Structure 1
Amino acid sequence: MLQDIFELPGPESNSIVGSLVDLGNDPLGFLTRCAREYGDIVPMRLGLTPACLITNPNYIEQVLKDREAFIKSRGFRVLKTLLGEGLLTAEGDSWLWQRRLAQPVFHQTRINGYAGAMVDYAEQMIATWRDREIRDIHADMMRLTLRIVMKTIFNAQVDEGEAKTVAHALDVAMHWFESKRRQNFLVWEWFPRPENIRYRHAIAEMDEAIYSLIQHKRNSGKETEDLLSMLMHARDEETGQQMNDKQLRDEVATLMLAGHETTANALSWTWMLLSEHPHVRSKLHSELDRVLAGRSPTVEDIPQLRYTDMVIKESMRLYPPVSIFGREAARDCTIGEYEVPEGCLIQISQWVMHRHPRYFENPLGFQPERWEDNLEKRLPRGVYIPFGDGPRICIGKGFALMEAVLLLATIAQKFQLDVLPDFPIVPQPSITLRPESGIKVQIEQLSGVAKNK
Structure 2
Amino acid sequence: MATIVTDAPEKSIPAIKHLPIIGNLPEFRRDRLGLFLRVARECGDIGMLHFGPFPGILINSPELVHSVLVEHAYDFDKGEFQHNAFRPTLGNGLLISEGEYHRQQRKLIAPSFQPRNIIAYAAAMGAYGEQLQSEWADGAIVDIGHEMTRVTMSIVGKVLFDTDVFTEADELGAAMTTILEHINHTLSKLFPVPFSWPTPRNFRAKRAIAVLRSRIQQMIDERRTSSQERNDFLSILLNAQGEDGSHMTNEQIGDEALILFAAGHETTATALTWAWYVLATHPDIYEKMQLEIDTVLQGRTPTYSDLAQLPYTLQVFKETMRLYPPAYGFVRVALRDQKIVGYSISKGQTVIISPYTMHRNAAYFSDPETFDPERFVPENEKKLPRLAYMPFGAGPRICI
TM-score bracket, normalised by the shorter chain, equals over 0.9
CA distance in 2, matches of 1:76, 1:232: 28
Normalising by structure 2, report the TM-score: 0.93
- CA displacement at 1:133 relative to structure 2: 0.9
Pick closer, same or farther for the CA change 1:94–1:3 going to 2, 3 Å.
farther
The corresponding residue for 1:291 is: 296
* Cα distance in 1, alignment partners of residues 19 and 268 from structure 2: 40
CA 1:240–1:375: 2 relative to 1, 3 Å: farther
Aligned partner letter, 1:378: K
Provide, for residues 75-126 of structure 1, a one-character-per-residue CA deviation record: whole Å limited to 9, x for no partner.
4322112221211111000001111111112101112101111111111111
For 1:358, what is the secondary structure of its paired residue? coil
Partner of 1:212: 218
Could you tell me how far apart the structure 2 residues matched to 1:2 and 1:347 are?
25
**Quick check: 1:173 aligned with 2:179?**
yes
2:180 partner amino acid: M
Corresponding position: 1:225 with 2:234: no
Name 2:131's counterpart in structure 1. Answer: 124
- Distance change (3 Å), C-alpha of 1:185 and 1:386: farther
Q: Go from structure 1 to structure 2 and tell me whether the alpha carbon gap of 1:99 and 1:374 turns closer, same or farther (over 3 Å shift).
A: farther
Q: 1:203-261 CA deviation, whole Å, 9 max, x = no partner?
A: 1232122112111111114331221112211234x433322211111111111111111
Unpaired runs of 5+ residues, structure 2, are 1-6
Distance in structure 1 (CA, Å) of the matches to 2:90 and 2:259: 6
Instruction: Check conservation: 2:150, 2:166, Cα contact below 8 A.
Output: no
User: Which SS does the other structure have where 2:142 is aligned?
Assistant: strand
96, 100, 123: which one pairs with 2:103?
96
The total of aligned residue pairs comes to 392
**SS of alignment partner, residue 127 of structure 1:** helix
One-letter code aligned to 1:269: W
- Is the contact between residue 154 and residue 166 of structure 2 (CA under 8 Å) also seen in structure 1? no
Cα shift at 1:52: 0.6
Stretches of structure 1 lacking an aligned partner (at least 5 in a row): 396-453
Say yes or no: does 1:242 pair with 2:247: yes
Question: Which residue does 1:369 correspond to in 2?
Answer: 374
Indicate the structure with greater strand content.
Answer: 1
Q: Does 1:379 align with 2:384?
A: yes
The corresponding residue for 1:254 is 259
Give, in whole Å, the separation in 1 of the partners of 2:166 and 2:365: 46
The one-character-per-residue Cα deviations of 1:347-389 (angstroms, maximum 9, x if unpaired) are: 1111101111110012111111110124444322221110001
Give the 3-state SS of the residue equivalent to 2:333 in structure 1. strand
Is it true that 1:34 corresponds to 2:39 in the alignment? Answer: yes
Asked if the contact 2:149–2:269 (Cα under 8 Å) also holds between the matched residues in 1, the reply is yes
Q: Distance in 2 between matches of 1:166 and 1:274?
A: 28
| Superposed displacement of residue 342, structure 1 | 1.4
Aligned-partner Cα distance in 1 for 2:283–2:81:
40
Give the superposition deviation at 1:12: 1.3
Q: Please give the alpha-carbon distance, in whole angstroms, between the structure 2 residues aligned to 1:75 and 1:267.
A: 30
Give the C-alpha shift of residue 185 in structure 1: 5.0
Deviation of residue 164 (structure 1)?
A: 4.4
| Partner in structure 1 of residue 4 of structure 2 | none
Q: Secondary structure at the match of 2:129?
A: helix
1:389 to 387, 394, 398: 394
In structure 2, what residue type is equivalent to 1:156?
Answer: T
The match for 2:203 among 172, 176, 197 is 197
1:327-342 to structure 2, matched below 5 A, reads 327-342=332-347
Matched letter for residue 293 of structure 2: L
What RMSD in Å do the two structures reach over aligned CA positions?
1.7
Amino-acid identity (%): 40
Aligned to 2:49, the other structure's residue is in SS state strand
Distance of 2:126 and 2:315 partners within structure 1: 19
Match of 1:22 in 2: 27
> Can you list the C-alpha shifts for 1:122-153, whole angstroms capped at 9, x where unaligned?
11111111111111111000001001101112
AA partner of residue 228 (structure 1): L
Q: Which residue among 124, 143, 146 is the counterpart of 2:153?
A: 146
Residue identity opposite 1:99 in structure 2: R
Change (3 A) 1:3 1:198: farther
Choose 65-74 or 50-59, whichever is displaced more: 65-74
Partners of 1:95 and 1:138 lie apart in 2 by: 32
Distance in 2 separating the partners of 1:96 and 1:188: 29
Match of 2:326 among 308, 321, 330: 321
1:306 alignment partner in structure 2: 311
Of residues 365, 369, 377, the one that matches 1:360 is: 365
8 Å Cα contact 1:82-1:253 kept in structure 2: no
User: How many Å apart are 1:345 and its aligned residue?
Assistant: 0.9
2:13 and 2:343 in contact (8 A); partners too: no
328 and 124 in structure 1: CA distance in 2 versus 1, 3 angstrom threshold: same
Contact 2:153 2:166 in 1 (8 A): no
* Aligned match of 1:418: none
8 Å CA contact retained: 2:159, 2:232:
yes
SS of structure 2 residue aligned to 1:135: coil
